[in-house]
Amino acid sequence: MLASSSNNYLTINNEVVNINKNKESKSRKINHNGQIQIYQSSYRGSYSSIIRDSLRNAALGRKVLLVQLMKGGVKQGISNAQNLCGNLTWIRSSNSYDLYESENINKNMSESINNSIIELWNFCKRKLLYGDYDQIILDEVFLAVEMNIIGKDDLISTLENRFITGDVILTGTSIPKNFLLMADQITELRS
**Fold entry, domain 27-189:** Rossmann fold (3.40.50)
pLDDT given for residue 113 in this prediction: 87
The domain segmentation of the chain, as residue ranges, is: 27-189
Q: How far is the C-alpha of 71 from the C-alpha of 73, rounded, in Å?
A: 7
Say which amino acid occupies 16. Answer: V
Contacts by 78-83 with C-beta closer than 8 Å and gap 24+?
A: 78/119, 78/120, 78/123
pLDDT tens per residue across span 95-138: 887 777 777 778 888 898 899 999 999 999 999 988 889 999 99
Examine the pLDDT at 42 and tell me if it is beyond 90.
Answer: no
pTM: 0.77
Q: What's the gap between Cα 19 and its chain centre? A: 36
pLDDT tens per residue across span 5-39: 334 333 443 443 344 444 444 434 444 468 999 99
3-state DSSP assignment of residue 184: coil
pLDDT given for residue 73 in this prediction: 66
Dihedral (CA of 53, 56, 61, 64) sign? positive
Confidence band, pLDDT 50/70/90 cuts, at residue 74: low
